[in-house]
Chains A and B, each alone.
Chain A
Amino acid sequence: MSTEVITLPGTQTTVETSRRPLVDRLHEWVTTVDHKRLGLMYIVYALMFLLIGGVEATIMRIQLSAPHKDFVSPQVFNRMFTMHGTTMIFFVAMPLVFGLANYLVPLMIGARDMAFPRLNAFSFWLSAFGGILLYFSLIGANGLYGAGNAPDVGWFAYAPLTSHSFSVGHSTDFWILSLLVSGFGSIGTAINIIVTILCLRCPGMKLGKMPLFVWLNLVMAGLVILAVSPLSAAQIMLSIDRYLGGHFFDTQAGGSAVIWMHFFWVFGHPEVYVLVIPAFAVASEIIPVFSRKAIFGYPVMVAATVCIGFIGMSVWAHHMFTVGMSSNANTFFVLSTMAVAVPTGIKIFNWLATMWGGKIDFKTPMLFCAGFLFQFLAAGLTGIMLSAAPFDWQLGNSYFVVAHFHYVIVGGILFCLFAAFYYWYPKMSGRMYNETLGKLHFWLFLIGFHLTFDFMHIPGLLGMPRRIYTYEPGRGWDTWNLIVTIGVVFQAAGILVFAANLIWSYFRGRIAGNDPWDAWTLEWTTSSPPPEYNFAAIPSVKSRRPLWDLKHPEDPDWKYE
């Protein structure tokens, strides 16, 4: 039996859970509809796939560390980059983003759960099943013969390589189904997030009083619906091609390979914003708290995000500058892509202004956010280079592009996600992480990241295309590739320190208390970890920083907003 001390916001709750049999506790996790447990399951599940995707990346980097290496065969290499890309986007980045949104959005808006708890659980299990399906292809793709296989058509799966003529066996089918299934999960979660935010806000929390984290996740969820739907449609069309004699993408029967590219990138580019906007959301919470200042230009930050969401839907064909579009089409997509730089720049400037004049406390979360700011700036600028279509005719599909988008996804998004883990770890686990290990993780990962991805730009400029399992000596690529591979060692060491920190702190960390960061949003009013019902009494708010108002009754925010 457990004794729960029901409290008002701002006071410590003590919860003693009695020891019950493991089976019972597992059963509770499997059947749970609690947004916090589902959020944690999303995160743990994504972190496991992060390790798998990391191993795949390491295999590729060993193979490419020198020309004409024989570490893996071309077939295995092609599977590795397909699985790495698919895993990292669909089964690491998306679940991490959903996990954080699931855990934090209801807490931040003063709600007791998501709007549709059962849909929430259903969506999670769909996504989880999708990931398992993808990896089942390693043993199941050739049916009963057991030879083992995995998708090898690239995560972008360009037609007609995916047609029956070029992709015999079932590995491509596993790829299609796994993305289709997890895509439905994503759409379910997106609907849930939108409805939760629109309908379950606590009294006083008008749209303009929501924490930026919540605003940005609202935009993210909207983009998920708009982006994942065409991908799901395309997967269904591809299945029709493969099994029901359709010819959508079957070029041998007059189908169009270019249509697939449009379908894929009309998903694929908004997907980048689906991942990066939650990263912005994290930065927009952490930077103010550790600078001890309110976010600068809140309305502008919201407007810029919505703007990114809209423009982000109309830039997809910048992935297709080399497919031979008309010069008018190319010019349009140059303009729309460059235009995204404006709201994105505004966000960087607002974070800068938030830090300006503050007292920045460089705890681990803030360190990661600072890294994010510099790296995202650089990633945005290489993005500008790629958006100039003629420059892209040289850089497209080269290692420069690989370096660019890893700068976005690792240097931008993953750094923010690490910041988020450290920042909310005390809330989720009830214990503080180890600060020394956290800083060690940051520096190791920073060094590894820059060794790998700074130097990866150069072989691209020297003409090295991506997705090649080996390369010729004498092209001037060897040294750069070796350095890139060496960086992996540091990144892997950083990840190990991170994992050790999470596990060690879970058992041995200092008890965190409700509000270890002296922060301002509602999740810090309840206990750590929060009780199942989140809040004993539904809070009501008057400003964007309810805890600031509570801590500074003489000078509350609502006087100024």
Chain B
Amino acid sequence: MQSTRNNSAKLPLLKAPAVLFFPASACLAQSPTFSSPTNIFAPASTPAKSIFGLSLFVLVITGIVFVVVGSLLAYAVVKFRKRKDDDSREPAQVYGSNQVEIAWTVIPVIIVVVLFMATARVIANVQKAAPDNAVHVTVTGHQFWWEYRYPDLKVVTANELHVPVGVPTEIRLLSADTDHSFWVPRLAGKTDLIPNHPNVMWIDPQEPGLYLGQCAQYCGTQHAKMLLRVYVESRTEFDHWIQQQSRPAQSSDAAPEGQRIFEATACINCHAVAGTPAQGRFGPDLTHLMGRDTIAAGIAGNNHENLRLWIQDPGRLKPGSLMPAMGLNEHDLNAVTAYLETLR
């Protein structure tokens, strides 16, 4: 076997196929195949928009790198494959080339510096404090539901967050037990809720509507069914909602027996109904339960059947939920359901 040798590399890198520019990602958001209420490429609030802008930039740069390097690889794999009519001689042995090594060190360094600067700017923008006029909400993550408190407005609710449109909302994140993560992709990136480690994030949704999300940090058995619903409302609707939520529970003459059973069983150890002896803090506040569209952290519609099923055996809807099956008889079950249905 004969081998020829070539110490100074002559890599015909410049002859590589011309590179095409693909601004691929911008169409992602619009295409119907990708339609989703939780699409990160359909931002509707400043933090999500800043992230979206950076994402496009990063996607375009990495896309170009992929196309360039991928084409070179593909070219090498096709062009330099062994052919049937090859002689048995070894190809020229090339050991390296400092010039080429420097080139493919410096170019990535430049790309990294550019990406880093763009990223650092967005980090500073999103992590700055929320504006002064922000609405304050404290979110507490529980296994497996969300507690919302509006400290300035004296409102407590669960699982369905209401915020005004066009105004910043500062969200303080706490956890009552394990780690959770608050992620509504169209409004902002996720931030974790960690016990002993309060976090803050902010949103300023610019269009009214319902925004969905869910817990994004594994928190136990029912991590999957810890859904987030954020209702973005006009200022009037929001004020109306606050006013309605600030009232104590409606006098429940309609279902006195249900109320008696509710207050005489373990229900009140965990649940609160403002203005009654029920003052538990372990489970969701039920004062205005009927004002919510869903129960059990967004997994089931708030209707008679689901409510009844939930009280009878939460495990049927959400196995592993910390609410025990109360073992009520048929009569008591109907009475408690009827009572809860008066909590408007």
Contacts and interface: CB of A to CB of B under 8 A. Distances in A.
Interface in B116-134: 116, 118-120, 122-124, 126-127
Nearest to A348: B69
A360 B82 CA distance: 5
B246 interface: no
A74 B1 contact: no
Contact of B11 (A345, A356, A388, A398): A356
Interface in B32-74: 34-41, 48, 50-51, 54-55, 58-59, 62, 65-66, 69-70, 72-74
A416 to B, nearest CB: 15
Interface in B211-236: 212-225, 227
Contacts of B69: 348-349, 352, 377
B179 A355 contact: no
Which of B80, B83, B197, B215 has most chain A Cβ within 10 Å?
A: B80
B108 interface: yes
A471 interface: yes
B265 interface: no
Nearest to A394: B40
B197 A257 contact: yes
Interface stretch (A42-50, A54-62, A247-255, A502-510): A247-255
B37 A467 contact: no
A384 interface: yes
B62 A298 contact: no
B104 A322 contact: no
B190 A394 contact: yes
B119 A388 contact: yes
Contacts of A334: 116, 119-120, 123
A540 interface: no
A436 interface: no
Interface size, A (range): 35 or more
Given A296-B95, A384-B62, A552 B177 contact: no
A352 B73 contact: yes
Interface in A158-177: 158, 160-161, 166
Which of A252, A296, A378 has most chain B Cβ within 10 Å?
A: A296
A366 to B, nearest CB: 9
Interface in B83-140: 83, 86, 90-97, 100-101, 104-105, 108-109, 112, 115-116, 118-120, 122-124, 126-127
Which of A322, A335, A360, A384 has most chain B Cβ within 10 Å?
A: A322
Interface in B145-164: none
Contact of B66 (A166, A331, A377, A472): A377
A7 interface: no
B203 to A, nearest CB: 12
Nearest to A386: B58
Contacts of A557: 93
Nearest to A388: B119
Interface stretch (A11-19, A209-217, A231-239, A286-294): A286-294
B194 A324 contact: yes
B141 interface: no
Contacts of B40: 394-395, 461-463
Contacts of A118: none
A534 to B, nearest CB: 27
Given A296-B96, A327-B127, A357-B94, A384 B199 contact: no
B224 A74 contact: yes
Interface string A20-43: 000000000000000000000000
Contacts of A391: 51, 54-55, 58, 119
Given A297-B101, A346-B105, A388-B58, 4 more contacts: A331-B120, A390-B51, A463-B38, A555-B3
6 contacts: A74-B320, A330-B123, A330-B127, A358-B80, A471-B224, A560-B5
Interface of B: 1, 3, 5, 7, 9, 11, 28, 34-41, 48, 50-51, 54-55, 58-59, 62, 65-66, 69-70, 72-74, 76-77, 80-83, 86, 90-97, 100-101, 104-105, 108-109, 112, 115-116, 118-120, 122-124, 126-127, 173, 177-179, 181, 183, 185, 188-192, 194-197, 199-200, 212-225, 227, 299, 319-320
For the complex of A and B, the 10 pairs showing the least CB-CB separation, nearest first, are A393-B189, A463-B38, A476-B36, A468-B224, A324-B199, A251-B195, A297-B96, A462-B36, A381-B62, A327-B127
